[in-house]
Structure 1
Amino acid sequence: MTISDQDILFLGDCVREAARAEIMPRFRNLGAADVSEKTSAIDLVTQADLLAEHRITAALRERFPAALVVGEEAYDADRSVVPALADADLAFVIDPVDGTFNFAAGLPVFGTMLAVTVRGETVAGIIHDPVLGDTVTAIKGAGAFLTRRDGQSTKLKVAEPASLNQMVGGMSWGHMDEPDRSRICANMAKIRMTFAFNCSAYEYWMVASGKLHFIGHTKLMPWDHLAGVLAHQEAGGHTAKFDGTPYRPGETVGGIISAPDKESWQLIRREIVGI
């Protein structure tokens, strides 16, 4: 199964339409009944998440009726869909509102992510910022591009390698267990500046465009990472799991680091992750 240029344009339109119709009208306009907890007070779902995912899913199933569609919010109803990504002939992975806590709090740091996989390989990814109207599009072997609301497009490139004390980066330690949590947080004092966006969409945009040198995570749900990892790699970066192996669709454990090159990746694993 292959994805055409027209398919990529269609996917971008799907994401932007969901943002226009379902997400932005609810931003800073949510009632108490529009927000629910999933696993904790910082793991939320809103009506924007549910309705945006429903809209994108319906459009995908109409155009690609045989494809596997994996949505973050639908995952709780059928958890077999994530392992199925490893072998699916064609699959789409949706995070309707990545950074839901930020969205519910009224912070304009959230995004919509969509990845396309073919037989266990990510072949395309889209990261859309509903507030600014910017879209990152990555196609395997063809690069990663940021397209502004006005249509202006630029090719993305990761940051140049730097010494550890000059790096800017972030490690998402919220899902880490001890003693990893305390060790990694302490090691982040070795770098020049650290950021915590609580939003994979923003983190991957920042690292793929050279604004950050590195990011790292331990929770590897596919809707948070597939599109972003491809964008980072197509921008020239090196991403791998903590054990050095590639991150692939269907995998949910193992930790992951994205850095400018393999040498920087090894430096971050040694000095920040501490393994």
Structure 2
Amino acid sequence: MYMEKVTEILHEAAATAILPRYQALAAGEITEKSPGELVTVADREAEQLITRRLRELLDAPVVGEEATAADPGLLRALHEAPAAWVVDPLDGTANFVAGRPEYAVQAALVRGGRTVACWIVQPALGQEFTAELGGGAWSSGVRLHREPAPAEPEQIRGAALTKYLDPAIREHIETVRSRFALVESGAKAAGVDYPRLLTGAVDFLRYQRTLPWDHAPGALLATEAGAVAQRLDGSPYRPDDDRTGLLVAADRACWTRVQELITPPVAGA
């Protein structure tokens, strides 16, 4: 596998395209690619560098966030190609634009629709995380293991990005928020939130949008550390599955308990 080399590539992209612009972006270097979705010159330059370097390692399609915004057909590679790279050159662009350190550079390798390796680098926070299917999750040479969450909901801490939720689900989560020790909105960067789950800062993460560049890296990192990343019907997360809704939790008991509490009751049941 290419574990060390890909980590080096992400650090190279950060050093070349991202860190020189951190807290130093010019107004003309920030645009909206869609309403409320920012993109910067750092995103684009980093993705170009990462794409070129990854294809030198393994000449497979690269499903990059910015390239896919221009050509949504690239997503077909996750279904059709024997192998594909997935790249988020700057996860947490809004934080980066605001000068906050909660952003990450992410990549994953997908084979047969399944994530087999992942890399997360947090340039401003000085952290890096990797995982290989069956090989565990690691941070700077230290193997990661997520301890079980508390049994009682009143002691469970979580994050729910409610921006994209159906209004009924959002309203229900607001109703049950007091049942938990804390339900925050998260760092607004999956490449920061997934590692926070593994360090125990939170016990669960609830997402609606599950774009592969956001979740392919973190979901593998979480499961290789002993956590659970599943669709709302209990099926495992896969990057070639374009359904919405994902719940990640410290352990299976926590996943089940949180899912029961945050799922609105079926009308008439």
> So what's the TM-score if we normalise by structure 1?
0.92
1:272 maps to which residue? 262
Q: Aligned partners of 1:119 and 1:268: how far apart in 2?
A: 30
Provide the residue aligned with 2:83 in structure 1. Answer: 90
Indicate yes or no: 2:57 matched with 1:63: yes
Query: 1:103-122 counterparts in 2 under 5 A?
Result: 103-122=96-115
Task: After TM superposition, give the deviation of residue 30 of structure 1 in Å.
Answer: 0.6
* CA distance 1:19–1:53, shift in 2 (3 Å): same
Aligned length: 263
Shift in Å at residue 261 of structure 1? Answer: 1.8
Q: Give the corresponding residue for 1:156.
A: 144
TM-superposed deviation, 1:27: 0.6
1:191 to 2:180 alignment? yes
Name 1:126's counterpart in structure 2.
119
Distance across 1 between alignment mates of 2:232 and 2:248: 10
Gaps of 5+ in 1: 148-152
Greater mean alpha carbon deviation, residues 136-145 or residues 82-91: 82-91
Match status 1:239 vs 2:229: yes
What amino acid sits opposite 2:94 in the alignment? Answer: F
Counterpart of 2:26 in structure 1 is 31
Task: Indicate yes or no: 2:196 matched with 1:203.
Answer: no
Contact 1:157 1:210 in 2 (8 A): no
Deviation string for 1:8-32 (max 9, x for gaps)?
A: 1111110010011110000110111
CA drift at 1:245: 1.0
Give how far 1:253 is off.
Answer: 2.2
Structure 1 distance, partners of 2:84, 2:203, is 30
Cα distance, 1:183 vs structure 2:
1.5
Q: Structure 2 CA distance, aligned partners of 1:223 and 1:274?
A: 28
Matching of residue 250 in structure 1 with residue 240 in structure 2:
yes
Q: Are the aligned partners of 2:153 and 2:180 in contact in 1 as well (CA < 8 Å)?
A: yes
Q: How does 1:219-234 map to 2 (within 5 A)?
A: 219-234=209-224
2 CA distance for matches of 1:106 and 1:19?
A: 15
What is the distance in 2 between the residues matched to 1:36 and 1:28?
16
Check if 1:170 corresponds to 2:156: no
TM superposition shift of 1:182:
1.6
Alpha carbons of 1:208 and 1:88: their partners in 2 closer, same or farther (altered >3 Å)?
farther
Q: Deviations over 1:22-58 (max 9, x none)?
A: 10000110111100112223x1001110000010001
Q: CA deviation at 1:266?
A: 1.2
* Aligned residue among 7, 21, 25 for 1:12: 7
Residue 209 of structure 1: how far off its partner (Å): 2.7
Aligned counterpart in structure 2 of residue 53 of structure 1, from 35, 47, 56: 47
Equivalent pairs: percent with the same residue? 34
| Aligned-partner Cα distance in 2 for 1:100–1:254 | 21
Q: How far apart, CA to CA, are the structure 2 residues paired with 1:185 and 1:10?
A: 44
Work out whether residues 126 and 138 of structure 1, in 8 Å CA contact, stay in contact via their aligned partners in 2. Answer: yes
TM-score, reference length from structure 2: 0.94
Deviation of the 1:208 alpha carbon: 2.3
3-state SS of the aligned residue for 2:163?
coil
CA distance in 2: counterparts of 1:254 and 1:215, whole angstroms: 14
Name the Cα RMSD after superposition: 1.3
1:38 and 1:183 mapped to 2: Cα distance? 31
